[in-house]
Structure 1
Amino acid sequence: MGASAPRCPGRGHGRRDQPRRAPFLRGLRLRRFGRSVGAGSVSAPSIRVRTASLADYDSLVALFDELDEFHRRARPDVFRRFDGPARSRDEIGGWLAGPGSTILAAEEDDGLVVGLALLLTRPPSPFAGRVPRKVIELDNLAVRGDRRSQGIGEHLLRAMVAWSRAQGASHIEVGVHAFNRDARRFYERFGFVSSIDRLVMAA
């Protein structure tokens, strides 16, 4: 399932060719739901959620491209095609360099990356009347089209919560476009609740 959170520009140009071994992600090897095949059933391979690295660049770009196409089809008035890869190597490298951002990758037993979650730390509000909070923004969530409805998105959300807590976050937020009702139901089932509705009109 693709999330409809707004895209954010990459920050920094750090590059990291090896996955970061984060203690909060150790052991996050989760069994997917069995898939029915004919009269019987077959157990699907397990999914491991880990911190992505630039070695995953091609797989990550493919997932971002699939997510972008979903948004272009739904809102051609907002999203358009552009030259170049879905996300540049520097852009992804900046997110991976952190420390307030990361990309989580869901991979199968054979190493195939089938999902991602992009997490960004929101800057604190300068307004003195705002209660101090540390908010992690789930900027994008994407799962390969041929792997959806198999629990992978939920595995990524669980890892997202673990990463956010390790960062000392008080809240996690995600933006969902009005057209993406499936995504809204998905997040609400996990525990997200509505906070602010953003309304738009032509000028």
Structure 2
Amino acid sequence: MNINIRTAVIDDCERIRPLQKEIADLHHKGRPDLFKTEARYFTKEAFAERLNDPKHTIYIAETDNGEVIGYAFAWIVSYRNHSTYIDFDCFYIDDICVLKSHQRNGIGRKLFECCKEKAQEKKCKMIELGVWGFNKDAIAFYENCGMTDRIRRMEYRLED
């Protein structure tokens, strides 16, 4: 099966919903104390806004027969006149998702590589993302892509 990675178009707003549902289920299962059971879907307006914003990038992974099986959402975060940091741009990956039925076939890696190319093209200093501690598969995937811890965010849970 050939996989094509391309820039998203407005019609993808509806086509990515099964992926968004899988992510919502994964997060709810991992932390039901934080995540709602229902998926968060983009409105066409919100999706179009991202498509038209030059700081945002959305890639779609599609099979030869047109099935959307993965995506990556990212944007450039610009640090300027920060009290601590030097000025730089960071390519922030909000989400890489591949349908569970298509995982472990190199699709996530292809999406990550496209993000890496875009970050380099845009002269970003780094790529960063957040991943939940319960999501061991995602952590292993990102580490396999060469990512390392830069900062660790910890919590102490207060029970009701």
Instruction: Name the TM-score, length of structure 1 as normaliser.
Output: 0.72
Do the aligned partners of 1:95 and 1:101 also contact (CA within 8 Å) in 2? Answer: yes
Partner of 2:20: 64
Partner of 2:89: 134
Q: Kindly report structure 1 stretches of 4+ aligned residues shifted beyond 3 Å.
A: none
Q: Percent identity?
A: 27
SS of the counterpart of 2:16?
A: helix
Shift of 1:125: 5.0
SS of the counterpart of 1:54?
A: coil
Mapping for residues 149-188 of structure 1, pairs under 5 Å: 149-188=104-143
Any gaps of 5 or more consecutive residues in structure 1? 1-44
Give the Cα–Cα distance (whole angstroms) in 1 for the partners of residues 80 and 132 of structure 2.
23
Do the aligned partners of 1:64 and 1:87 also contact (CA within 8 Å) in 2? Answer: no
SS of the counterpart of 2:22?
A: helix
Mapping for residues 11-160 of structure 1, pairs under 5 Å: 45-82=1-38, 86-160=41-115
C-alpha RMSD of matched pairs (Å): 1.7
Decide which structure has the larger Cα Rg and report it: 1
Do the aligned partners of 1:115 and 1:144 also contact (CA within 8 Å) in 2? Answer: yes
Give the Cα–Cα distance (whole angstroms) in 1 for the partners of residues 134 and 44 of structure 2.
30
SS of the counterpart of 2:88?
A: coil
Instruction: Name the TM-score, length of structure 2 as normaliser.
Output: 0.91
SS of the counterpart of 1:134?
A: strand
Give the Cα–Cα distance (whole angstroms) in 2 for the partners of residues 145 and 139 of structure 1.
18
Any gaps of 5 or more consecutive residues in structure 2? none
Give the Cα–Cα distance (whole angstroms) in 1 for the partners of residues 84 and 103 of structure 2.
42
| Count of residue pairs the alignment pairs up | 158
Give the Cα–Cα distance (whole angstroms) in 2 for the partners of residues 201 and 93 of structure 1.
38
Q: What do the CA deviations read for 1:45-67 (whole angstroms, capped 9, x no partner)?
A: 11111100111122112211211
Describe the shift of the 1:195–1:85 C-alpha distance in structure 2 as closer, same or farther (beyond 3 A): closer
Describe the shift of the 1:133–1:117 C-alpha distance in structure 2 as closer, same or farther (beyond 3 A): same
Partner of 2:145: 190
